[in-house]
Structure 1
Amino acid sequence: MYIRQANQIVLSALESQAAVVLLGPRQVGKTTLALRIAEQQPSVYLDLERNADRQILIEPDLYLDEQAGKLVILDEVQQLPGLFKSLRGQIDVRRRLGFRTGQFLLLGSASNVLLHQSSESLAGRVRYIEMPPLLLDEVGEDQLNGLWLRGGFPDSFQADTDKASMAWRTDFLRTYLERDIPALGPRIPAATLGRFWTMLAHSQGGLLNAAALAEGLGVSGQTVGRYLDLLVDLMLVRRLQPWHKNVGKRLVRSPKVFVRDSGLVHALLGLETMEDLLGHPVVGGSWEGFCLEALIAAAPTGAEPFFYRTAAGAEVDLVLRLPRGETWAIEIKRTTTPKVSRGFHLAVEDIKADRSLLVYAGERHIPMAQGLRAIPLAAALDMLRGLRRNG
């Protein structure tokens, strides 16, 4: 068992808010975390995928009135969209009884669905927290290659062998395609969506080309957009938007698309071992996506991620706009020889970055020209965590 950083974030949020929504894909560890929190205080837990637990909430106020003063944990809460109006009333009643914080912990695996369901009913009463898969600073720097290869879903990362890990991820993908996504309502053939997901893995970190994807699948561009929206909503794919502040530049307007968990990238492409991965053309895109997800997760709450690219060739892999107004430009390269192109320095000038970093596969900290510094991934994560700790 690993100590998840989300654990302390959730506990702190419960101390200041009546309700906390913990978002993350299935099997990422939300339920394990919630049950660990439940052991520390009076609480009740309901899994809303179980019919018996849903039956308990047919008349939600009758049940929830009896739980006042306890932490009520509702898992897969998007299964009961009508519940949020009752939760608003429950929170207000409990406030009058003196129970102002730490009343509800809501777990969900569909972000936009939950945000839409809860934003109107629970406005001002709820904090949203996203729980990523296992992070490098949770498992240890010495596990970097294993985490990159297998991804951060706990059962995949902790499997006894690479073969067993691949089998788990293959089953995970099949379950999402055949059960979990249809349960949300969309009628999408599993084989078609599986092909789409695999096509995204092949072009990991590339610019979105909806027309090419549509042609490859034999569907319309609008349908491709719907498929992508769904996988983004399930927190399985990231759509990284381009930086858009430089009005005078000819900027690339298309987003970059990443399958968010590197282990799923490798499962979709059949890459079971590190040798398989290192010999595959996706290795650079996979490493970029792996580092990018870790950096975004480590950044202070409220940080906004982008990439920057112009028609003239200026480019930065990750631009972080931090809550205090700073802008960081981060280049990511799978190399032990730190070097960036002239286009990176041009991009740093364009966006007026306050700090520029090269995250590379070496172990040393190397100062470079024009204020650039090459550092290992773990060091970059420490820098961002430090900003988060200092407020």
Structure 2
Amino acid sequence: MQKYPKIFNLIKRKVDEGRQEYGRYVLTVSSQFTLQHDISETLAGRIGLLQLLPFDISELPDTDIAIENGCYPEQVMRNYNANEAWYGSYIETYIQRDVRSISNISDIHDFSRFIKLLSANISQQLNASHYAKSPGVSVPTIKRWLSVLEISYIIYLLRSYHSNLNKRIVKSPKIYFHYTGLAAYLNGAMGSRWEDGPLAGPIFGNYIVSECIKQIAHRGLRDELYYFREHNGDEIDIIRETRQKRQFLEVKHSMTFRPRMIKHLEKYMDENTKSVLIYQG
């Protein structure tokens, strides 16, 4: 559809001719940027939006394999055959086609290095000034690149929770990849290599966040996701909030339960909050 934007005007005409007939057209686009622009121009008030992400946990035959290999339908259906080559082609296609169509990025090499740098810092707080030093670009450029990566579903920025839990909180967002398989590939941690490496905890935590995102999107919910961290280091990994309730999720990359895993849940929970510990045991 991005290649033929005139189709939006044609669909608008057809929809206006029969406003009581719903669901006649199913449109797919791969870029939020294109979708938002064309909807605002032609289809506002005439379309329902659904966000369709790769397979979530309920659709996967083997969750453990999917954590480090990915959840794209093509990958799962062919049992992850030649998976590293698939990701190599994916990144090259994404940078050469999608990025150039979304934003005028002059130095693709620096942008590629930036993606890899982000993948090595998943589940960590964002510091734009720090990331600007490595590729040697300006902070505004880093922020523009982050926006491009968000729009194209490469990264997800988990915002800090602003509430009355505590006034002394860290406000920077955290970096997550929509797909842990891509982060594992960029760090050479595919297959069983991720479990014993330094990114084992961050990759597992990233997978849980990405699952929350997919389950909300695939069910058409309006839940919001946040994290909470005080300056003293006390933290809630994920806060899932609706208008009616709030859920705290603590994520631990461990096979064994230990009481200290829930100390932050116990500290912040109240009668209106459901607390959940997620670990591998």
Fold match by TM threshold 0.5 = yes
Q: Distance in 1 between matches of 2:251 and 2:38?
A: 37
Conserved? CA contact 1:151–1:263, under 8 Å: yes
Give the Å deviation of 1:79: 3.4
Question: Which residues of 2 match residues 139-158 of structure 1 at below 5 A?
Answer: 139-140=60-61, 143-158=62-77
**Residue in 1 aligned with 2:241?**
321
**Residue in 1 aligned with 2:3?**
79
Residue identity opposite 2:90 in structure 1: F
Residues 333 and 157 from structure 1, CA distance in 2 versus in 1: closer, same or farther, beyond 3 angstroms? same
Question: Which residues of 2 match residues 1-391 of structure 1 at below 5 A?
Answer: 77-81=1-5, 83-95=7-19, 100-119=21-40, 121-140=42-61, 143-159=62-78, 164-246=82-164, 249-274=167-192, 276-299=193-216, 301-322=221-242, 324-339=243-258, 340=261, 342-349=263-270, 353-362=272-281
Q: Distance in 1 between matches of 2:79 and 2:240?
A: 36
Give the Å deviation of 1:86: 4.0
Conserved? CA contact 1:317–1:331, under 8 Å: yes
SS for the counterpart of 1:78 is coil
Q: Distance in 2 between matches of 1:353 and 1:297?
A: 25
Structure with bigger strand share is: 1
Q: Structure 2 unaligned runs (5+)?
A: none
Give the Å deviation of 1:174: 1.4
In the TM superposition, what whole-angstrom CA distance separates every residue of 1:92-149 from its partner, at most 9, and x where no partner exists? Answer: 1123xxx611122111111143123214532332111111112221123xx1111112
Q: Distance in 1 between matches of 2:34 and 2:169?
A: 31
Give the Å deviation of 1:361: 0.4
Conserved? CA contact 1:214–1:224, under 8 Å: yes
Q: Distance in 1 between matches of 2:54 and 2:106?
A: 26
Residues 247 and 213 from structure 1, CA distance in 2 versus in 1: closer, same or farther, beyond 3 angstroms? same
Conserved? CA contact 1:159–1:165, under 8 Å: no
Q: Distance in 2 between matches of 1:343 and 1:234?
A: 34
Give the Å deviation of 1:85: 4.1
Q: Distance in 2 between matches of 1:161 and 1:184?
A: 29
Q: CA RMSD in A?
A: 2.1
Aligned length: 276
SS for the counterpart of 2:49 is strand
Residue identity opposite 2:51 in structure 1: E
Conserved? CA contact 1:250–1:310, under 8 Å: yes
SS for the counterpart of 2:207 is helix
Q: Distance in 2 between matches of 1:341 and 1:248?
A: 18
Residues 344 and 312 from structure 1, CA distance in 2 versus in 1: closer, same or farther, beyond 3 angstroms? farther
Give the Å deviation of 1:185: 4.4
Residues 245 and 82 from structure 1, CA distance in 2 versus in 1: closer, same or farther, beyond 3 angstroms? farther
* Rg larger in structure: 1
Q: Distance in 1 between matches of 2:11 and 2:230?
A: 47
Q: Distance in 2 between matches of 1:302 and 1:159?
A: 33
Give the Å deviation of 1:341: 5.1
Q: Distance in 1 between matches of 2:76 and 2:157?
A: 24
**What percentage of aligned pairs have identical amino acids?**
25
Give the Å deviation of 1:353: 4.9
In the TM superposition, what whole-angstrom CA distance separates every residue of 1:260-290 from its partner, at most 9, and x where no partner exists? Answer: 101101111122321x212221111111111
Q: Distance in 1 between matches of 2:85 and 2:59?
A: 24
Conserved? CA contact 1:333–1:360, under 8 Å: yes
Residue identity opposite 1:93 in structure 2: E
Q: Distance in 2 between matches of 1:290 and 1:161?
A: 17
Larger RCO: 1 or 2 (CA < 8 Å, sep 6+): 2
SS for the counterpart of 1:311 is coil
Conserved? CA contact 1:329–1:353, under 8 Å: no
